[in-house]
Amino acid sequence: MLKYINLGYKPKKRDVVVEYYVEPNGISLEKACEQIAAESSIGTWTTISTMNPTIAKKLRPTVFSINKRTKEVKIAYPPELFEAGNMPEILSSIAGNIFGMKVIKSLRLQDIHFPKQFVDSFRGPKFGITGIRKLLGVKNRPLVGTIVKPKVGLNARQHAKVAYEAWRGGLDVVKDDENLSSMKFNKFDDRIKLTLKLRDKAEQETGEKKIYMPNITAETNEMLRRAGVVKKFGGEYIMVDILTIGWASLQTVREANLGMVIHAHRAMHAALTKNHKHGISMLTIAKISRLIGVDQLHIGTVNVGKMVGSEEEELHIEHDIEDKFMSKNEKGHVLEQSWYNIKPVLAVASGGLYPGCIPKLVERMGNNIVIQFGGGCHGHPKGTRKGATAIRQALEATLSEIPLKEYAKLHPELKLALDKWGIA
CATH code for the domain of 95? 3.30.70.150
Q: Are 325 and 11 in contact (CB under 8 A)?
A: yes
Domain count, the chain: 2
Residue 6 domain-assigned (yes or no): no
Q: Are residues 113 and 216 located together in one domain of the fold?
A: no
Per-residue pLDDT band for 387 (boundaries 50, 70, 90) equals very high
Query: 287 and 145 in one domain?
Result: yes
Q: What is the pLDDT of residue 329?
A: 56
Of 61, 84, 119, the domain-final residue? 119
Distance CA 264, CA 246 (A): 12
How confident is residue 325, by pLDDT bands cut at 50, 70 and 90? very low
Same domain, 211 and 297: yes
pTM of the model: 0.92
Does residue 249 contact residue 224 with C-beta atoms inside 8 Å?
no
Residues 399 and 349 in one domain: yes
* One domain, residues 108 and 135: no
- Whether 351 maps to a domain, the answer reads yes
Residue 265, pLDDT > 60, answer yes
**DSSP 3-state of 130:** helix
Q: Which of 284, 287, 272 has the alpha carbon at shortest distance from 345?
A: 287
* Contacts of 346 by beta carbon, 8 Å cutoff, 6+ apart: 128, 129, 132, 143, 295, 296, 297, 335, 368, 369, 370
> How far is it, in rounded angstroms, from Cα 377 to Cα 391?
7
In a domain, 271, yes or no: yes
Which of 119, 137, 156 is the C-terminal boundary of a domain? 119
Q: For residue 164, is it within any domain? A: yes
Domain membership of residue 267 (yes or no) is: yes
> How many CA atoms within 13 Å lie on the side-chain side of 95?
20
* Catalytic residue set: 149, 265
Q: Are 107 and 96 in contact (CB under 8 A)?
A: no
Enclosing domain of residue 334: 128-421
Residue 21 pLDDT exceeds 70: yes
In a domain, 9, yes or no: no
Say whether both 244 and 293 belong to one domain. Answer: yes
How open is the CA angle 35-313-216, to the nearest 5 degrees? 95
pLDDT (tens digit per residue) in 144-194: 999 999 999 999 999 999 999 999 999 999 999 999 999 999 999 999 999
Cβ proximity of 207 and 270 under 8 Å? no
Is residue 1 in a domain? Answer: no
Are the CB atoms for 203 and 211 separated by under 8 Å? Answer: no
Q: What is the pLDDT of residue 116?
A: 94
* Mean pLDDT on 397-414: 98
Summarised one tens digit per residue, pLDDT across range 201-222 is: 999 999 999 999 999 999 999 9
Final residue belonging to a domain, choices 119, 141, 174:
119
Q: Is residue 2 part of a domain?
A: no
